[in-house]
Amino acid sequence: MLILDLIKQEWKKSIRSRGFYKNMVANLFLGIFALYIIIVFLFLGFSLNSMLEKAQTSLSPMEMVNGAMFYLILGALTIRFIMQQLNTFNLPLYQTLPIKRSALVNFLLLKPIFAPINYFTLLVVIPFAVKSVAGYYSGFIAFRFVVSFVFIIWFDSLTAAFLKRKFGSSILAFLSILIVLASIAALEYLKLFSLFAVSKTVFGFIILNPFGMLIPLAAAILAFGLNKRFFFQNYYPERFNQKLKGAKVSTADFSFLNRFGIIGELISLQIKLMLRHKRTRTILLTSAVFLFYGLLFYTHHSNGDGMLFFIAVFMTGILMLMYGQWAVSWDSNHFDSLMTKNIPVRSYITANYYLMMAFNILCFVLTTPYFLFGSKIIYMHIAAFFFNSGVNIFLLLFFSTFNTKRVDLSRSSAMNYQGTTYKSFLIVLPIMFLPMLLVSILSWVASLSVALWTVSLLGLTGILLRKPLITVCINQFNSRKYKLAEGFREQE
Amino acid sequence: MIEVSNLQKVYNGITVLNIQQLSIPQGESFGLVGNNGAGKTTFFRLILDLIEATSGEVHIDGQKVARNDDWKAFTGSFLDEGFLIDFLTPREYFNFVGKLYQKSEGDIALFMESMQDFFNGEILGTKKMIRDFSKGNQKKIGIAAALLGEPKLLILDEPFTALDPSSQIRLKRFLNDLQAASQITMLISSHDLNHITEVCKRIVVLEKGDMVKDLQTNTDTLKELEAYFAV
């Protein structure tokens, strides 16, 4: 009963938060995205059997899935480690009430298991079980296959939470997981040790033996126990929150920026902001991952020019795009401070402009290895760089003033949509797809070089006209200033 | 120093502030009292151009405040935690603010030294970020930062709440000394009638957005205010 009350209160917390209704449109976008994922997963589930049957082995589809299982579990664990948000239930709030602590801990641990997102994979598993496992073996085995999978999901979710609580979500921990995964894959590839074979045997037993599914259940219970033990050892929130907070201050010195006066001060402030908050650090990390996007697309020659240009704009501007969407909102916590201290609005906007410009140059330089893919890519990247620096940068500066929601910097991991409204999507759409459309049309009507020259010249014009364009952004900022200040003051 | 004319702020049809005319001369210590919702913070936010007036204007030193940057150079203010940059350490924050007011590193170090007493030795030594400090210490940091630019105009919203008793007395003494030594104009709001009558030469009472009393502080002021607020 108590657990039910707690669940009710959490639910109220989310629907009574001020942002909820304002956020409807953003939620709608996310809903559409979720629907898309559901369809893709279902499609995969129904076609997995025939796909695997075409593979050139003597193994049955289920045996292949079993072989891949350890990889799937480890991969899912890694993804969860980055993406899964720790349940930030306000423990101290309830700790003083006469509620048994173990009930609270159980709630904290078990709540994520009820999150529907965990069971998305079942959209693949169930159709596969019905079509393939039931066909090759029996309906009862298909049922056990699905149930084992649910246990594995529990195990993954609980283990990821435990690892995250224990080690924090440092980049180091993430890298070490990647290294372990890579070395296992390497051993497999070199045929020194096959996790595939081990996995096939183990999961073969789990699914075919009537009591086999007790093994994943035991694993899930073990993971639950580990979590419980963690909370038992770290009884007080201050102890387990320490790991999450990481209160250490990086002492990196940006004093070289001081020569540039107030603008330099503001830029170094912004860099400190990015390095000292989880949410912004995640942005840096995701941006770094997206820099490898080109490897996926440039290796296929079937992509159209517009698509390639889209990728080029995306990669050479990734940091600017990620940062610029919320250029003003990052300061929502201390917006009043910036507005009342001796900072002319021009300096504030100009500082953001230079910072985004620096991001552009950085990303452009980091993506130069793609030049090895040929001269077409070189021209694409240069044109994209100009377009980002002359057109997109101003669009971002201009439209970021429409994001009046407070951004909570402390809460974060990837897939954090706090502070996202439909406006965020409206900003990104033209920035990403307009150049794509432009290049597609021009290279179809005229030629690719005409298209690239056009976007480059557009960009160059923007760079040359930066003074008046910055003034436009300043006027826009000034007219939105009160709305921004008011919106940022509202805590969720 | 400050000229307010026909200032009105309306939220959803409810007038939360309505000041026909008010002028605060240079060097005055101006106190603002009133129950919750009287419009004190709204008034301060309007002076600092953080919200848009429905009608009317505020001028500081003859300049219109709205959409103007010039008054910021000589105005120090602290209303709430939003005036802090909480992911910086106090030292970093003071350095940042000092630079904005064209202070040299030496000036800033000297300033921090002079604040040690007020900080009770608790703030400058550690490498903690401002967000990890207690509310009282955050308030001290904010008040200190407001003073860092040697402002001609100082605006503090309830500076005494959340401070420990010693710090309240120190702050009171500090503000009185500041007032005596320089021609600073101070706007202070408070719920503590004792403190405000000790610090301010003029006290204005707001009620539901209207100025209902405008008093020059004398020996009877405290009694008068207590009588006014008695229920």
Q: CA-CA distance, A144 to A247, in Å (whole number)?
A: 46
Q: Is the dihedral of CA A439, A445, A447, A453 positive or negative?
A: negative
Q: Are residues A147 and A263 in the same domain?
A: no
Domain range for A142: 2-6+21-245
ipTM greater than 0.90 = no
Do the Cβ atoms of A481 and B89 come within 8 Å?
no
Do the Cβ atoms of B96 and A277 come within 8 Å?
no
Nearest to B72 among A248, A341, A482 (CB): A341
In a domain, A202, yes or no: yes
Q: How many CB pairs under 8 A join A and B?
A: 80
For β-strands B2-11 and B14-24, DSSP reports them as antiparallel
End-of-domain residue from the set A245, A269, A285: A245
In a domain, A72, yes or no: yes
Find the residue in A nearest to B73 (Cα): A342
Contact B7, B17 (CB under 8 A): yes
Task: Give the least confident one: A427-436, A473-482, B79-88, B98-107.
Answer: A427-436
Whether the pLDDT of residue B120 is over 80: the answer is yes
CA dihedral A397, A399, A404, A406 (to 10 degrees): -50
| Chain B residue numbers touching A262 (CB-CB < 8 A) | 99-100
Contact A306, A383 (CB under 8 A): no
- B87 near A CB under 8 A: yes
C-alpha distance from A337 to closest chain B C-alpha (Å): 4
Q: CA-CA distance, B15 to B8, in Å (whole number)?
A: 7
| Chain B residue numbers touching A273 (CB-CB < 8 A) | 87
Q: Are residues A212 and A349 in the same domain?
A: no
In a domain, A80, yes or no: yes
In a domain, A364, yes or no: yes
Q: Are residues A425 and A343 in the same domain?
A: yes
Q: Are residues A287 and A205 in the same domain?
A: no
Task: Give the least confident one: A85-89, B17-21, B139-143.
Answer: A85-89
Query: H-type helices in chain B, by residue range?
Result: 40-47, 90-100, 105-119, 135-148, 165-181, 193-199, 221-229
Nearest to A341 among B82, B86, B97 (CB): B97
pLDDT confidence of residue A492:
61
For β-strands B55-60 and B63-64, DSSP reports them as antiparallel
Count up the domains in chain A and report the number: 2
Contact B69, A322 (CB under 8 A): no
In a domain, A111, yes or no: yes
CA dihedral A86, A333, A420, A322 (to 10 degrees): -90
pLDDT confidence of residue A248:
46
Do the Cβ atoms of B50 and A336 come within 8 Å?
yes
Q: Are residues A70 and A129 in the same domain?
A: yes
Nearest CA-CA partner of A265 in B99, B75, B141:
B99
C-alpha distance from B98 to closest chain A C-alpha (Å): 10
Residues in a beta bridge with B215: B203
Q: Are residues A206 and A118 in the same domain?
A: yes
Q: CA-CA distance, A441 to B211, in Å (whole number)?
A: 65
Do the Cβ atoms of B48 and A345 come within 8 Å?
no
Q: Are residues A240 and A382 in the same domain?
A: no
Each residue of A263-292: pLDDT tens digit?
888 888 888 888 888 788 878 888 888 888
pLDDT confidence of residue A247:
43
Do the Cβ atoms of B100 and A273 come within 8 Å?
no
Tokens 């951004």 sit on residue: A407
- B42 near A CB under 8 A: no
Instruction: List, for chain A, all residue ranges whose pLDDT scores fall below the cut of 50.
Output: 242-248, 250-251, 414
Q: Are residues A332 and A417 in the same domain?
A: yes
Q: CA-CA distance, A216 to A205, in Å (whole number)?
A: 11
Nearest to A337 among B75, B85, B127 (CB): B85
| Chain A residue numbers touching B96 (CB-CB < 8 A) | 265, 269
Q: How confident is the model at residue B141 (pLDDT cuts 50, 70, 90)?
A: very high
pLDDT confidence of residue A236:
63
| Chain A residue numbers touching B9 (CB-CB < 8 A) | none
In a domain, A251, yes or no: no
Do the Cβ atoms of A342 and B73 come within 8 Å?
yes
C-alpha distance from B84 to closest chain A C-alpha (Å): 6
Q: Which residues of A249-282 are buried (b: 16+ CB within 10 A; e: fewer)?
A: beeeeeeebeeeebbbbbbbbbbbbbebbbbbbb
Q: CA-CA distance, A126 to A113, in Å (whole number)?
A: 18
Find the residue in B nearest to A334 (Cα): B82
C-alpha distance from B177 to closest chain A C-alpha (Å): 24
Interface test with A, best of B83, B133, B154, B156 (most A CBs within 10 A): B83
pLDDT confidence of residue B154:
93
Each residue of B171-180: pLDDT tens digit?
998 899 888 8
Do the Cβ atoms of B87 and A335 come within 8 Å?
no
pLDDT confidence of residue B63:
87
- B105 near A CB under 8 A: no
End-of-domain residue from the set A245, A274, A289: A245
In a domain, A16, yes or no: no
Tokens 């979500």 sit on residue: A169
C-alpha distance from B73 to closest chain A C-alpha (Å): 5
pLDDT confidence of residue A244:
46
Name residues 45-74 of chain B within 8 A of A (Cβ). Answer: 48-52, 67, 69, 72-73
Contact A422, A26 (CB under 8 A): yes
In a domain, A406, yes or no: yes
pLDDT confidence of residue A462:
92
Which two structure tokens, joined as six digits, stand for A328? Answer: 């003003």
pLDDT confidence of residue A88:
57
Nearest to B77 among A272, A340, A485 (CB): A340
Nearest to A335 among B82, B89, B92 (CB): B82
Which residues of chain A approach chain B closer than 8 Å at the C-beta? 247-249, 258, 262, 265, 269, 272-273, 276-277, 333-337, 339-346, 409, 478, 481-482, 485-486, 488-489
Q: Are residues A389 and A464 in the same domain?
A: yes
Nearest to B86 among A333, A344, A485 (CB): A333
Q: CA-CA distance, A9 to A261, in Å (whole number)?
A: 50
Q: Are residues A298 and A209 in the same domain?
A: no
- Please identify, in words, the CATH class of the domain defined by B2-84+151-229: alpha beta
Edge-to-edge strand ranges of the sheet holding B29-33: B63-64, B55-60, B2-11, B14-24, B210-216, B202-207, B29-33, B185-189, B153-157, B75-78
Interface test with A, best of B96, B127, B130, B138 (most A CBs within 10 A): B96
